[in-house]
A and B are shown apart, each in its own frame.
Chain A
Amino acid sequence: NAGVTQTPKFRILKIGQSMTLQCAQDMNHNYMYWYRQDPGMGLKLIYYSVGAGITDKGEVPNGYNVSRSTTEDFPLRLELAAPSQTSVYFCASSYERVIGYGYTFGSGTRLTVV
């Protein structure tokens, strides 16, 4: 059971480039999330999804886009990368109604924009 898998683990982008961060889960979770984690700033929610075809903005959605065509996959798209998007990105998933299990996180993608 792989849990939540994120690829790539590391990436360096030039300003203005675009890329897609991949996230896949094999736990049949309906709910999926994208967070960014900056040093000393905690985890900030970028986008979330409550099921295939349904997505919504979190706290810091500007500069990002998501899609959810299947239950398993929730890719995060960065268009026109900026230095402010240098961060560690975590994807997470959860059961729909059982908050006690919390979120299962992936191991993260470390992105640097230069």
Chain B
Amino acid sequence: QKEVEQDPGPLSVPEGAIVSLNCTYSNSAFQYFMWYRQYSRKGPELLMYTYSSGNKEDGRFTAQVDKSSKYISLFIRDSQPSDSATYLCAMSAGLANSGGSNYKLTFGKGTLLTVNP
């Protein structure tokens, strides 16, 4: 079983739709959960960061973590064409020999989202 599973899509929605993006994971050591957005031919950029189970909201974006089910979600409300990008989930576990002072990120494969005007 892979550490992080993410449906690659592609996902195509009309403007204004609610988008749900999801990842599952198998490593119960993961403590921090992130969502990155990657526009075409660009590097990933951090969108949301959460720690522990629950919801976190930032404007039109809501990140949700369910540690008991090992399942995280990103919801986008009132989606816009400018939201068209690849969304990668990422989770952290300790770097080997780092003493736990930093956390290696394990990424999902990314979901390609297109929001049509």
Contact = CB atoms under 8 A, between A and B. Distances in A.
Interface residues of B, number: 30
Contacts of B45: 105
Interface stretch (A12-20, A61-69, A73-81, A91-99): A91-99
Contacts, number: 64
Nearest to B49: A100
A104 to B, nearest CB: 8
A85 B96 CA distance: 25
Given A42-B107, A102-B36, 4 more contacts: A4-B43, A97-B101, A99-B32, A102-B49
Interface of B: 4, 6, 8, 32, 34, 36, 41-46, 49, 51, 88, 90, 92, 95-98, 101-105, 107-110
Interface of A: 4, 31, 40-43, 45, 48, 50, 56, 58, 90, 92, 94, 96-97, 99-108, 110
